[in-house]
């Protein structure tokens, strides 16, 4: 039984339906090379699938970086460890892998006076975690608290907390600047309690 022949247009439509845009873009070039070099079919298929998976991973990281609201300039590469010698670069590098603490839902606290780089360090850890596949949200504490208060007033707080659950890490910036009235303290406590020992906060 002969295999069915497919023209380029038909293949393009099928790859589009299957949502394989990278293979759709690369297959003519790879097929030509495969014909010239007499690749086995498995090699051709494997090469195309590897590129598709790599592109998907790249697009996923780009989406996660966009949704994180992290400052693109505040990375580990731009953090001056020499200016804050009390911060252990080795410890920060270990945190940036996420393995030992995100899986446990642990919380990390950064203390220090204004201007020493706490926000930069938090952002830098967030960027590194996105690079290894985690989802991160960076937010000013006061802004998140206001959103959660609005959600509570519209009886949507459980839904709002559930949406935040998709993030492996939430970075609460400027925690000490958030107002401490009862309503704000209450929704912040609910967020912390909801994530306790399940999902991490920094």
* pLDDT score recorded for residue 100: 85
The whole-number average pLDDT for the span 98-103 is 88
* pLDDT score recorded for residue 179: 62
Task: Give the rounded percent of residues in the chain with a pLDDT score beyond 90.
Answer: 54
Contact 200, 105 (CB under 8 A): yes
User: Average pLDDT over the chain, rounded to whole?
Assistant: 88
Burial of 125 (0-12, 13-18, 19+ CB in 10 A): buried
Highest mean pLDDT out of 14-18, 74-78, 176-180? 74-78
- Has residue 42 got a pLDDT over 80? yes
Name the pLDDT band for 93 (thresholds 50, 70, 90). Answer: very high
* pLDDT score recorded for residue 6: 61
The whole-number average pLDDT for the span 38-56 is 88
Is the entire prediction scored with pTM above 0.85? no
* pLDDT score recorded for residue 34: 87
Identify the structural domains of the chain with CATH numbers, from first to last: 8-68 (no CATH), 76-201 (3.40.50.300)
Buried b / exposed e along 59-80 (16+ C-beta atoms within 10 A): eeeeebbeebbbbeebbbeebe
The whole-number average pLDDT for the span 121-145 is 95
């Amino acid at each position: 039984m002969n295999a069915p022949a497919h023209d380029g247009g038909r293949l393009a439509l099928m790859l589009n339906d299957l949502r394989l845009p990278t293979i759709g873009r690369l297959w003519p070039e790879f097929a030509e090379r495969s014909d010239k070099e007499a690749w086995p079919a498995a090699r051709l298929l494997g090469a195309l699938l590897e590129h598709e998976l790599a592109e998907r991973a790249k697009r996923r990281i780009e989406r996660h970086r966009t949704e994180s609201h992290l400052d693109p300039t505040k990375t580990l590469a731009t953090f001056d460890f020499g200016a804050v010698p009390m911060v252990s670069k080795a410890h920060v590098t270990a945190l940036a892998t996420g393995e030992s603490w995100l899986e446990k839902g642990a919380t990390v606290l950064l203390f220090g006076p204004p201007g020493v780089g706490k926000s930069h360090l938090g952002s830098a850890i967030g960027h590194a975690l996105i690079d290894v596949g985690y989802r991160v949200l960076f937010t000013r504490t006061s802004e998140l608290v206001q959103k959660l208060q609005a959600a509570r007033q519209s009886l949507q707080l459980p839904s709002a907390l559930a949406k935040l659950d998709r993030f492996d890490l939430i970075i609460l910036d400027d925690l000490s600047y958030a107002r401490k009235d009862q309503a704000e303290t209450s929704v912040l406590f609910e967020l912390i309690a909801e994530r306790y020992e399940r999902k991490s906060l920094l």
